[in-house]
A and B are shown apart, each in its own frame.
Chain A
Amino acid sequence: MSTDHADTRLGHEDDGGRLFWVCAVVGLGVIGFGLAGLLNARLIGSIASWATYLVGGLLVHDAVLAPIVVAISVVLIYLVPSRIRPAVQGTLVVAGSVALVAIPVVGGWGRKPDNPTLLPRDYGLGLAIAIAIILAAGAIAAARAARRPPPRRPPERPRGW
């Protein structure tokens, strides 16, 4: 459709084509349906608590988690040789995903004294085993990358996050 092969930039959304406005009207209607349903639900409990978690989750990602990832990226650029950096980055992505998903089970805040079938395992140990396996896989990948011949062409583009 386009001869625009070079443009891989982000952010080239449609600015107001017919498809966009059809989707916008339908989508905003569905959003409104959800919001109205929530505000009218008798059993919702605290709307303020819902709003706090909704906005809180967004802020924790955009203002805490993402900047932390940027900071880690910067540290990696200075500390890790470029040849093994992909292996280190990959290890951190996988281990980080696993650690995040493990937070509620390792924390175990949902445990109930009358129900030992809920959260029956030693999740700290489970997480340690999982992370150890991921680190081992990452170490193997890094060792293999270090033995590969260096790239012929030095990277042109600025390094970074």
Chain B
Amino acid sequence: MLRASRRRGVGEQLAAGESRRRALDGALGTRGVVRAAAPAFPSRLHDERIAAILGTALGIAFSLCFLTGLYSHFAQHPLDIGFLSMPTSPAWLYRVTQGVHVAAGIAAVPLLLAKLWTIYPLLFVEPPVRSPAHLVARLALIPLVAGGIFQLVSGLANITGWYPWQFSFPVAHYWTAWMVIGGLIVHIGAVATPALRGLGRERRSRDEPDGDGLSRRGFLGVVAAGVGAVTLLTVGQTLRPLRGLSLLAPRDPAVGPQGLPVNKTAAGAGVLQSARRPDYALLVEGDVQQPLRLSLTELQALPQHDADLPIACVEGWSAGARWSGVRVRDLLELAGATSVSDVRVESLQQGGSYRASRLNAAHAQHPDTLLALRVHGEELHIDHGFPCRLIAPNRPGVQQTKWVTRLEVRA
């Protein structure tokens, strides 16, 4: 009560036109909190409004990463429950969500550093714990901050194919994301009031606090410039018109055999010999009336169709291409598969987590779902899956199985 009335006094003094610091000093005397904290971190940038603005931007970036990451996780580990099954359209959906995932993560690097800088004095707050709620809020910062740093560092390394650790990246990145978002929920509960106050109109219209060096507005400006710079320097790996600016992108969407990047090469998959064997055959088996065994020549003799579809990699790059080949649904019809619930697509590749993928019913029947034999009018390069590869709308690249040798139909 006493403090509240003091603060009202401060507000009135301010309204009367006195400078904030003089008003505060008058109200709190030399024992005022601002004065006490000033010698350690005197910069005016350790400020509630900056924390609120950067925190909001960072919260949006983390939420975008979480939602698009969740989408990517379930694209790769399908639930196949009614409406939760992966849709076939729009064909570009995964390309956009995963491009946003990686771009938002990269943009979060300057945002996170700026936010942590703004609130760094609070690491040393006295007393370290002032209430049970304060203890819970501080403990929840560990998964939020440590997890947030972990997600950005591990994600940045992963998009360059660098794995200096001994854990599985997709498993750790997925579960850590839940810890970060849980920490974010607790944090929002703890800072909602000061954040809304910091974002409020009266804070915006206030003068800059006294001091020299960067102003609050200047600081937000250079952080925005940092976000813009890291984005422009990398986003061209999925936004093709910007590829010339993307000096730091791990991929160039135009660099690779037949103008397309490669994630797993034929040499890396150990299929250099098996993919070129003259007795190569595609098998269509399972719940079918007439199992098929088709040579490459027979596949080439079937009706060919074109599809303009992107390869959209989980690492955040993507590239569109015109594919031609045999429709999967034509093969299913030829084999006499009357009802199809899913199709397992197997590669010549002997091991590895991505040697096979599954097509749900909608994907299996889609007219653009092809076993592609050609890209841009040329026979597939072996690194793109010669003799034939799966290409279907709205799927992660790892599920566009290459060097396909067997379709197993399940009714």
Contact = CB atoms under 8 A, between A and B. Distances in A.
A46 B202 CA distance: 51
Contact of B7 (A6, A89, A156, A157): A6
Contacts of B248: 98, 101-102, 105, 123, 126-127, 130
Interface in B222-250: 222-223, 225-227, 229-230, 233-234, 247-250
A5 B109 contact: no
A161 interface: yes
A111 interface: yes
Given A24-B136, A104-B156, A120-B255, A7 B7 contact: yes
Given A23-B189, A86-B215, A57 B182 contact: no
Contacts of A103: 156
Contact of A118 (B140, B161, B214): B161
Interface string A1-31: 1111111111111111101111110111111
B172 A94 contact: no
Contacts of B209: 8, 157
A23 B140 CA distance: 11
B39, B247, B268 pick with most chain A CB within 10 angstroms? B247
A159 B42 contact: yes
A158 interface: yes
Nearest to A122: B247
A149 interface: no
A41 B171 contact: yes
A136 interface: no
A130 B122 CA distance: 34
Contact of B38 (A10, A60, A158): A158
Given A110-B162, A157-B21, A28 B212 contact: no
B179 A13 contact: no
Interface string B100-138: 000000100110011011111111010000111110110
Contact of B229 (A2, A58, A94, A117): A94
Chain A interface residue number, banded: 35 or more
A61 B146 CA distance: 9
B162 A66 contact: no
B273 interface: no
B247 A130 contact: yes
Contact of A34 (B176, B192, B222): B176
Contacts of A27: 140, 182-187, 189
Interface in A30-78: 30-35, 37-38, 41, 43-50, 52-55, 57-58, 60-62, 65-66, 69, 73, 76-77
B19 to A, nearest CB: 7
Contacts, number: 359
A10 B178 contact: no
A160 B247 contact: no
A101 B122 contact: no
Nearest to B137: A13
B172 A89 contact: no
Contacts of B230: 97-98, 101
Nearest to B15: A5
Contacts of B361: none
A82 B250 contact: no
A117 B262 CA distance: 6
Contacts of B229: 94, 97-98, 130, 134
Interface stretch (B44-52, B295-303, B329-337, B385-393): B44-52
Interface string B154-193: 1011011111111110011011111111111111111111
A5 B14 contact: yes
A140 interface: no
A106 B184 CA distance: 32
B161 A119 contact: yes
B147 to A, nearest CB: 7
Given A6-B7, A9-B48, A109-B162, A101 B156 contact: yes
9 contacts: A1-B197, A4-B11, A10-B48, A20-B189, A29-B182, A38-B171, A53-B153, A101-B106, A121-B249
Given A30-B181, A54-B150, A114-B267, 19 more contacts: A3-B11, A5-B10, A6-B23, A10-B121, A20-B133, A23-B185, A24-B190, A26-B182, A34-B143, A37-B178, A45-B171, A58-B146, A61-B116, A76-B213, A85-B212, A93-B225, A105-B249, A110-B161, A121-B249
- Nearest 3 pairs of A and B residues by beta carbon: A23-B189, A34-B178, A126-B247
